Every structure is written in C-alpha cells, then in structure tokens.
Structure 1
C-alpha cells in the first residue's frame, strides 16, 4: 500500500486517525511549486479529539453511563405553540442535549469500571449517570489531565421527608417544553437527566404496573408519546389533535385523563382513542395546572387559580371545589401524589420550585428550588411531574442469557458474550471526515474529494471487554477524480487476533485478503471497508469480531486510510 500524503484526524474506537494514500501522480501542472511554503506553526495541534481514561469506583454492581457535555445549550429551533397560559407564542427553544451524547455504558466489576474513550477536545466535563435497579443518580465530573475519576458515595444527609411506605422509594419524573425528561429524588432534591423527548410537553403520567410514562406533545399534531422506563425508549402512539397542560393515569380503569380549559377527556393509552368528554364547572382561571388521582381515587385539579377537588354531579359534569387560597404567589403547572400521600406541585418559572400542599387545608410550603433557599436551584422549568415508585422487595432480576446483566440493562439480552456498547462520537451522533487527495496544493482547498459520515460501536461483554467493533459509515459526497477505497489499520491488534470481518464491499478485485477478512501482508490488523467509495453511498455496517475479549485500551489507536 503506497502512502504519499498523510493527515491525522482523531475519530474511532479510542482514536481513529485518518491518512490519505494515492498512487503515483504528476504534480507538474499545479500552480504551487512547493507545498512546504505553507507556514504552519511548529507544534500546531491538528487533533479534534482526545483519549480520556474513565475510572468509576463503586462496590455495588450498578449500571453506569457516561455522556459528553458542552458548555453551550443545544438550539432545538424556533417553535410556535400554545403555552400553558393559553397564549400562542413563537420562541427559540434550547436544551442541554446531554443524553444524546452517550459514549459508554458498563457495570462495575470488583469495585471498578475502567475504560478509555474518545472525547471532543472541547469537553471539560462528562455526565456520569448511575442506575441501581431504576434508582437514578447523576453528576457532572471534571476531565483533569485526560482522566475522569468518580467514586460513588451513598448519600447520608438527613431529609425532611421519609421514604415511601413499606419500603417504597419514590422518584418524581419531570418533563418540560424544551423536551427534557429528568428525575428528581424527593428526599434531597437532586435531579438526574433521563432522556430527550420526541417533542417538548406540558404533561406526563405514569402507568406504574407496566412502567410506562405517557406525555402529549405541546404543539401540532399533539402526539401521544410513550416512554418505556425499563428500556429507555420512546414511541408515538397516535396524534391526538388537541393539546393542553393536564394529564394523569388512572390505575382503576387503565385510562389517561387529560384536561384543557374547562374540559376533561379520557384517552385509551394503547390506541390514543378519545373515549369520553366532560365539562368542568367552577374553575376561576381555566389555564395551566395539572390533575392527579389520590390513592383513594379522588380526582384533584389545579389551575393558575389554585387547587380544586372534582366531583361528578347528576348531570354527568364535574363540579370543582377550590381548596387552596385564591391568592397563591405562584402559578402551579404540575402536581403528583407520592407514596406518603403528599401532594407535590411545581410552579411556572424558568427555574421551577417544588412545593408541597395540604389537600385538606390548602396550606403549602416551598421544598426545593430558589424560593426554598436551600441551594437546590434546578435551573430548568418543570412543566409537569408524576411519581414513579420502586418497590425494594421486587427488584428486576430477569437475565435471559445468564451473563449477570439484567435484560432491561443488557443491550444484547439473548447473547451471553455481549452486554454493553461504547460509542464514538456518541450514541445518537455521527462524525464526518473530509478528504483531499492533493491538499495543500492550490485547487484542493475545498476538501470535497470525499466526505465520510461515521459512527463506531465497541461491543463489550459483561466484564467490560470488547468482543466486536462495528463501524457504521456512509459516503456523503464523492467528487474525487480517483476511485478511492477506504480502510482502517488498528495499531493494537494483529491480523490473527481477529476472528472474522463482515459487511465490507469489494468490486474492483485488487484487494488481497486473509481468510478472516483482514488485508493480507500487513503487520497490523488492516480492514479494507471498500475498494471503491461509491459502494458506501448507502449506510453500511462493517463488523470486526475479535477472537478473544480485549480491553479497549489494548485495541488502542486506529488509522483511517484513503486508498
């Protein structure tokens, strides 16, 4: 393989570096006589990524996920919608976008989870999320000297509130109009990022038995969205065509109760079919708020004019009785009952407060948030919240493949040699590499010979060792005068350490291969993805299966090669 021009761009499992290689070419026609005339400062760093060592210490077998963070919020777009006060507004919408940038998932073994990952150069902190049987906690941790160290310490601080009855642990699931789903621990006010929603929302409700969270999008076509708490996945059930701020799930009839203004509806959670409609009488201000069922089946509703209890009258209409004072200093946007029968509310602010209210007297107090003055500023809006209960006596233990990782946390629940995935650049993101075969000569400043979109996934077993590497790639543009091929060289692996390579595409008949699919006559493991870039105009997955489980640190650096 002849290599005349080399450039290095970090991308791959730990660090994927690109190099260009071309056959002999005649440069006599170029208007630049000497490429060395370009003045590049000595020691200039071309790299855009860095290799970071992640070390997590925890004596329990909890699941950990690591996410890339940035200092700037992600601009979602300019959106027009009806807000909770009933006004049509057009605003720029931003969100943190942390959960879309997962790079690692694994479990602690013998008290430690250790991996090397590739992070963008700009990343100064990672977000580490811990999952102990759906009991979530999370923390931002600094990247110091290309290393992240996190040691789990069980919270021992006292709380104003006890755990739920009979060992039940409550968590408050929260959503907002920016499309954030996050969890608040009512014992200490700490919050954990959970997921990005398909659409921002004013509503959420939980089916406890089936572990589903339901939410209705805040704008047309008002989709009914369902989130699996076990699997961390979303699906759209139906487009309801109507929106509003109030939603709860009634465990007694298995229906979703939804309210907007002076109307109350029921929807079937499986189909989205609207089943019933009732009028609500007596609301002083019909805007905003939420509704919630108490444990005895009583239905409570709040609006910007306070808390009400609803009762069905002889005319099949709901009468409302106001419980709270008529001059609350906040506009409630959401409410939920916890296992201790406490009613939690959140207010309509850019950084919401959490409030507990007495359903008999209407008395209330700030518990968390800026107004509580206890250093629990959430820095985000809570447009709705609902309670999820975890029963300590019935942990999730289903493990189909017997690898020690429960199915709900196993990316491959029926394959014992696979459990987790590690992503570059991130779980939901892709990277792009642009090539020029004659750069830096004049006429080749546009970097349009070829642009390759990529994502790499290192598949790990339950011991956090790599067993397979998937490279998902697609040629986005290809305007080179040559028929270029693309390959990778993995510095830390020899050809005989690879069991098999699948998914590569060859049409030009000049690549010599070993029986396992690696390129022949190479000192290191070289995998040619294709011998003609035009073969990768559709998204293609090339899989590299390893003979023995290997640490990602041992796999090391890889080079992307343009043939």
Structure 2
C-alpha cells in the first residue's frame, strides 16, 4: 500500500491541481481573448476512426534513373506548391549510372514534385504527380532542358562537326534547336572526320586526286589547319579516302574504316598501327556495308553504322588483331547512314542523306530504333561529336562540382536538406493537461521547427542543424521540449544549443539527455517554456533557438524516417510526464502510471481516438483560447472523421479552411 501511494500520489495531486486551474481558466468571464461561442461544435462531437494518427505528411520514396549517363549526377528535389512555386527539399548525388533512391516526407497538400538533374554543366527536369508513395522517375532524351542565366549552362554546348564532299565543314548545335553554323570551305571536300576533345583538334581527310588523299588537323579554337601527311596505307580504298573515322581517347589513335576493313592509325603521322581482321559484318551484294561511320560512347563502347544494314556494336580482342561486329539493327535500315556521334549524355546521333541534304536522327544504341530530329541545310558525309568537356570546379574534391555543392570548400559536407524548405517552418501543437483531455485548442505550447539535414557526397547525414521557435496562448504550466532521435548515440559526437534553466534534466558529455538508452537518444531543446517565452499579448513567443547535432559516424539519410521524428513536451516541470504525437512511443523516462490515471488508452490518444498533439507541416496560427480546433480550422473535423481521406490540406490558407476570427494570425 505504501508503494502504491508513493507511485501514484504525485499523479493524483497533479490531476487535482490542474483540474482546478483549468476550471478557473475556462470560467473566467473577463478573458477578452476567448473565442468560444455558444452553439459551436467541438472535436468531441465527432467520431474518429480507430488507429488514425492525424498524419499531415506523406512519405515519398523516389527511385530516379537516367538514360545515357556515365558519371554521377546531382538531383535536386522540389515540392510544387500553389501551381508553380518551387520549394527545394534537398539534393543528392547519384551513382555512376545516374541511379538514386531518395526517401523523404512531404506535406499532404503537396501534389507534385519537380526534380532537376544537373549533369555536365547542364540541367534537365521532370515533373511528377504524387499519386503513390513509391515513385519511379526516368530522365531521357525527352526530359526538358532548364533554361538558365547560369553561365556554366550557357557557355558549353555539345556540337556535331559535319563535313561533306562539297567542300563544306559546319557545326550543328545540339543545345539550340540544331542550329547550323555558316559552312567553312574545305578545298576538295572531305569524306570523314573525328574530334580529339582533349586537344581540341578535328582530324579530316581531303581528296587530292582520283586516288590520293591527305590527312589534316584543324585547331578548333583558332581554325588553323595543318597537313599531317598523305594517306599511304597500301590499300587503295583508304588511300583514296577514309570513309569512316573516329578518335579513340583511350589509345589516342584514329580508327578508320570502309565497307569491310578497319585500320588503327597514329594521327600524328598518318601511319598504320594495327590492321585487324573484321568479323561479323552482314554479307550481301550491292555493298550493304558501305558509307556509315564509327563512334565511341562515353563508356568506351564502340559502334559502327553502315549504309543500309544499320548499326553494329564493335569490340577488339586484347591485341587488337580482330574486330568483332554484332548487328544491332534488325533487318535492313531504311536510310543510308553517313555519320554517327554521341553527345556528353551518351545520346547517339546519326545523319542520313535525303534529297540532297542530310536528315539528323537520334538513335537508340540498344536496338537501332530512331527518331527524326531535323532536316539540315546541307548534305553530310560524316559527323563527329564535340562533347562539352569544360571541367567544372570541385574545390574540395568530393565529387560534387562547386555549382551544385552547398559546401564547396568542405569535403565532409555537400548538400542541405531542409524540412519543410529553407526559410520556412512546420509546427507541432500541444495540449498540456495530459493525461486528461484539454479544450482541444492546441495552443498551450506550439513548436515551430526547421530541420537542415546536412549530407555528404555519399548522401549520409553528417550534421543536423535545427531551428525552433516556441509559442503559447495563455498557458499556465511550464513545459520542456525535446526530440527522440531515430539513430544510436554512438553516431553522435556532440549536441550544442540546448537551453536548460529549469533544473529538470541533465546532459551527458555529448550534450544528450543523460539516463536515456543509447539506442534512442534524446536531445533537449529547452526544459522550461516560461524562460524562453516573452511578450505582453495573449500569444507569447521565443526567439529562434538553434540546436546542432554533429555526427561522428554519418547516417544514411534514407534510414532516418519522417522529420521531426519523435518530438514531445514534458509538462509542469515533470520530466516523466511526456506528451507525444498520436501513435508515437514514450521514452524510458515516462511515468506509465499517467496512462492508468487519465484518459490515455495508449499511443497518446483517448478511447475516442482524440490526440494531445497535432503535427502541422506549415506555420500554425493558433486558435484563440478555449476555441476548439474545429471552430478555427473548419475542415479539421472532416479530416479527422474520414481518417485523413478528405480535406488533407485543412491547415493551409486555401479559402474555406480557416475561420480567421477564431485564430491568432501571426
């Protein structure tokens, strides 16, 4: 019996005290801020489905892929609000194939996302609707280009350099509606060309007679041409002209070819290095393998296109004595291919001649299918791709270029991930009469928060920068506020910024609350609300409270779950009297006798499924004192009774959601 009174007497005394205080507060006829009116409804008038936890955010799992990507890219994730307002959530770096899995939670009222891919100084975007929690997003050649004033985007365009036998050399701008430059004259005309991007040189051959030709190089920056030497292979078809040409950056050799042969050439003196045997070409009369071109993609994969057979893949054996061709295009190709090239995003382009002038195609190297892009103003005998290789600065050498790096001089940090977004606030609003129900105005203590989860180039969290503001409407009890984190204390090196004035809690050497299991560490934000709140009106508020959690062992962003994790208040300077969001669990310091002594039947909800706290994913304007939330946010009742099936945006500024006369608008 003695043990019973020691255990439950504090709870009983609290209940008596708070009920008396509550009665006096509710019956104070002189309260000028009371918005309660006769005839208004209350949350208790409604039936709320069992198990409903009043969720106002939705977890979204993104699986993002990119076609024709051969290096990591940065994806920026935006929420689309009010039609076209973009709210940046965060950024992440993909793997080398452009794949990324990114999990986060967005407000219920967000219906679409804008995802931007930054790759090789160029940005593209996709818009997606949030129709399910698991969403796949694919970037391809149809993804829209972001038009920007950013010089890193504008100054570097992929070009196709084209030549023809009419003595013309011109460029095709792949970033500007395939605009063509004014042709430059090449005396004698050219059958083939190739680009050495590392030296900014174009190689091309020029016929000098009926059976002779020379190899030239041109400095693309200055336009200066240089004669390398006469074609002198001993093979008449090559001495007459090089029909196909590509520069192999892996070996610094030219690869030239005709209908049935391939030569590996030293571009410095136009001499033969290898004369491999070619296997796998489709036989047939009428020279089906004539014309065409050779191209190497960003991953080093080689392709050869021929006149009417279409596309082959091509590989060499270890000593480059045998080239094996494998047909990709099924059957015959409907056009006579003259040129083949890739851009920096590994998109394949081909030219075909039609009615004198060339037609530009985009081809799929996996199956040889094609799309017609444009009809050019000139014929084309060959094209080579000038892929923009301007190196963007990466000052800290973390694999994220400075233009995309939020911390360009810190190799341990790369991206900000803000919840809800930079410069904005979400809120958690509490009733403080726990374990007894209050008046459901949810204004006793309101915590506004913004979390910045700072990640490194591996998309792991290295630091949590958290900002908080507290508000209260005429509350008489002193409460503390804390957050239980979803990862082990061993990952944390320090916590800074907690405000302790009430003598209610103590911290360990790291700055975490002491006496808490390491598996679920607790960060105290403040332990006495009356010491952080100030003001003379009905709404008291605090200045911004900054708390920083530094991690010694980075934690995967995708493993952390929904922000703000498990926030709670502890009421009346009693650390063991916690109030959590519905459905959340209590910490090891919670006094479970409060459940038996009050109306909490578990999960911080009453038997009717009414909560003591609500999470609002925007800044919450509190109801006036004693005004039930259903009379201030008039669609909250439908949201509750339908289990979140209707009026999921009850908290927004949308017309019809709010009775502003019952709100303290901030």
> TM-score normalised to the size of structure 1?
0.47
From the two aligned structures, give the one with the greater helix fraction. 2
Q: Which has the higher strand share?
A: 1
